[in-house]
């Protein structure tokens, strides 16, 4: 397992935050699928840092170089490989992270697991920067799914206690209504969210939030039983995104407050198709898609990097110490995580769709 995902496609992600490059290989993609590089770059730009007020000022272009698997704008059937060079490379001042692990980060667990051999600079392989290659793979899968009529989009539901209670229509999830710049349905709540972020920044603190993702146009029948169900597949990859601490589908936690007669989605005939009047199941029954939009939420914890002093332990001396994280960090990664969640969903659904074709 580790940094490899997929049944039909094998996605392998590599790289360390301050190493030479980060990248991905994507094996098992059919030949002849078109690639729109401009559209991919647009997608990657949504994740890239330093583009606005509410993200880190570290500016790095996430411009992938494709090394194989695509020729004349189409996939060749051979593994696709792409890399992004790191411009902010190791500067030698990261030994501190090994000795005094930052609370909420993987510094301590990496130190225990890799016994000091890990590349600790910038979080190394655990850096949020590794979501860039995830977005390369996911951006491609998203394009290919679109060609099959599957559209994926996500929106911010909440940041800290600023919550957008708007619920889009259950049939098409109003994907076209999600603003591109700051993907929140209700404009006034979007302003509140930005205020929460600005306030956290001002206080040297951080905030988290909730992202809701939709996949519309997914045919019924995708997913395999038990551990191969769509919830299992999507949760496995979404939990690969740093800072995610909850993944829920459809009504999710709220379903525990409903009775069966309230929660069960009623079937009705809609032309040649069968639809449901509600979508509490998030488009998935028994792990298999039912033709309604897939709907899930990912909860992002507040960025662990804060400039406030924090208590930790000096691993060399075993004594308590206080660290203060320098540099400028995102006070909230939720907006930048939106395309990452979309990417993860796209990879999981594309993988399941190929598997579906195999047994059709």
| Closest CB 275 distance from a copy of itself, rounded Å | 9
Binding span for a copy of itself by CB under 8 A among 4-12, 38-46, 145-153, 171-179 = 4-12
Task: State which residue, 27 or 60, has the beta carbon closest to a copy of itself.
Answer: 27
Length, in residues, of the chain: 360
**For the stretch 191-220, what's the b/e string if a residue is b when 16 or more beta carbons lie within 10 angstroms of its beta carbon?**
ebbbebbeebbeeeebbbbbbbbbbbbbee
Work out whether 92 is an interface residue with a copy of itself (CB under 8 A): no
Helix (H) or strand (E) holding 159: strand 151-159
Name residues contacting a copy of itself, limited to 121-150 (CB under 8 A): 124-126, 130
Binding marks (x or -) toward a copy of itself, 42..71, rule CB under 8 A? -----------------------xxxxx-x
Nearer to a copy of itself, 182 or 239 (CB): 239
Q: Who contacts 174 (Cβ-Cβ below 8 Å, separation ≥6)? A: 168, 185
The footprint of a copy of itself on residues 168-207 (CB under 8 A) is 200, 203, 205-207
Pair of tokens at residue 59: 């500016």
- By CB under 8 A, residue 293 contacts a copy of itself: no
Q: Which two tokens stand for residue 241?
A: 């995104």
- Min. distance of Cβ 299 from a copy of itself in angstroms? 5
Give the span between the Cα atoms of 188 and 323, in whole angstroms. Answer: 37
For residue 175, give both structure tokens: 């994907």
User: Element (H or E) spanning 103, and its range?
Assistant: none
CB of 179 to a copy of itself, least distance (A): 21
Shortest CB 12 distance to a copy of itself, Å: 5
Beta carbon nearer to a copy of itself, 109 or 177: 109
- Which residue of 151, 311, 335, 349 would you call a contact of a copy of itself, by CB under 8 A? 311
Binding a copy of itself by CB under 8 A: which of 50, 74, 95, 195? 74
Task: Tell which positions 325-354 bind a copy of itself, by CB under 8 A.
Answer: 354
Q: Is 355 in the site for a copy of itself (CB under 8 A)?
A: yes
Q: Which of helix, strand or coil describes residue 118?
A: coil
SS3 for 179-191 is: CCCCCCCCHHHHH
The structure tokens listed for 284 are 């998935």
Rule CB under 8 A: is residue 115 a binding residue for a copy of itself?
yes
Q: Note whether 13 binds a copy of itself by CB under 8 A.
A: yes
Residue 330 near residue 227, CB atoms below 8 Å: no
The residue (of 112 and 171) whose beta carbon lies closer to a copy of itself is 112
Which 229-258 residues touch a copy of itself, going by CB under 8 A?
229, 231-233, 235-237, 239-240, 242, 244-253, 255-258
Count of chain residues binding a copy of itself (CB under 8 A): 153
3-class state of residue 244 by DSSP: strand
Q: How many angstroms separate the CA atoms of 3 and 16, rounded?
A: 12
Tell me which of 35, 40, 44, 110 binds a copy of itself, using CB under 8 A.
110
CA distance 183 to 233: 25
Among 101, 122, 153, 183, binds a copy of itself (CB under 8 A): 101
Quote the least distance from Cβ 176 to a copy of itself, whole Å.
26
b/e burial code for range 110-124 (CB count within 10 A of at least 16 → b): bbeeeeeebbbbbbb
CB 279 within 8 A of CB 292: yes
In the bound state with a copy of itself, the residue whose beta carbon lies nearer, of 173 and 292, is 292
Distances from the Cα of 177 to the Cα of 74, 166, 231, angstroms: 31, 12, 26
Q: Does 94 bind a copy of itself (CB under 8 A)?
A: no
Measured from the CB atom, is 217 or 221 closer to a copy of itself? Answer: 221
């Amino acid at each position: 397992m580790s940094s490899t995902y997929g049944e039909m496609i094998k996605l392998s992600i590599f790289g360390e935050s301050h190493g030479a490059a980060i990248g991905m290989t994507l094996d098992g993609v059919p030949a002849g699928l078109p690639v729109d590089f401009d559209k991919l770059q647009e997608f990657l730009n949504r994740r890239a840092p330093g583009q606005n007020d509410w993200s880190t000022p570290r500016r790095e272009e996430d411009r992938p170089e494709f090394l194989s698997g695509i020729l004349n704008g189409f996939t060749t059937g051979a593994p696709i490989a792409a890399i992004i060079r790191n411009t902010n490379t190791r500067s030698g001042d990261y030994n501190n992270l090994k000795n005094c692990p930052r609370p909420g980060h993987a510094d301590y667990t990496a130190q225990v697991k890799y016994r000091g051999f890990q590349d600790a600079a910038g979080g190394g392989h655990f850096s949020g920067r590794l979501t860039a290659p995830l977005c390369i793979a996911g951006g491609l899968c998203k394009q290919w799914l679109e060609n099959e009529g599957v559209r994926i989009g996500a929106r911010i539901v909440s940041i800290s206690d600023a919550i957008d209670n708007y619920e889009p229509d259950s049939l098409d999830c109003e994907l076209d209504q999600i603003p591109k710049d700051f993907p929140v349905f209700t404009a006034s709540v979007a302003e509140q969210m930005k205020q929460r972020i600005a306030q956290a920044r001002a206080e040297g603190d951080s905030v988290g939030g909730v992202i809701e993702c939709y996949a519309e146009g997914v045919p019924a029948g995708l997913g395999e039983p038990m551990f191969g169900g769509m919830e299992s597949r999507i949760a496995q990859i979404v939990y690969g995104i740093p800072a995610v601490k909850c993944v829920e589908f459809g009504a999710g936690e709220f379903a525990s407050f409903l009775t069966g007669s309230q929660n069960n989605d009623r079937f009705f005939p809609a032309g040649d198709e069968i639809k449901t009047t509600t979508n509490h199941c998030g488009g998935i029954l028994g792990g298999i898609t039912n033709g309604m939009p897939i709907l899930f939420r990912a909860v992002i914890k507040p960025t662990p990097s804060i400039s406030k002093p924090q208590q930790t332990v000096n691993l060399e001396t075993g004594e308590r110490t206080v660290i203060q994280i320098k540099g400028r960090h995102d006070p909230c990664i939720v907006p930048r995580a939106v395309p990452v969640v979309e990417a993860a969903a796209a990879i999981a659904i594309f993988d399941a769709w190929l598997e579906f074709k195999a047994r059709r």
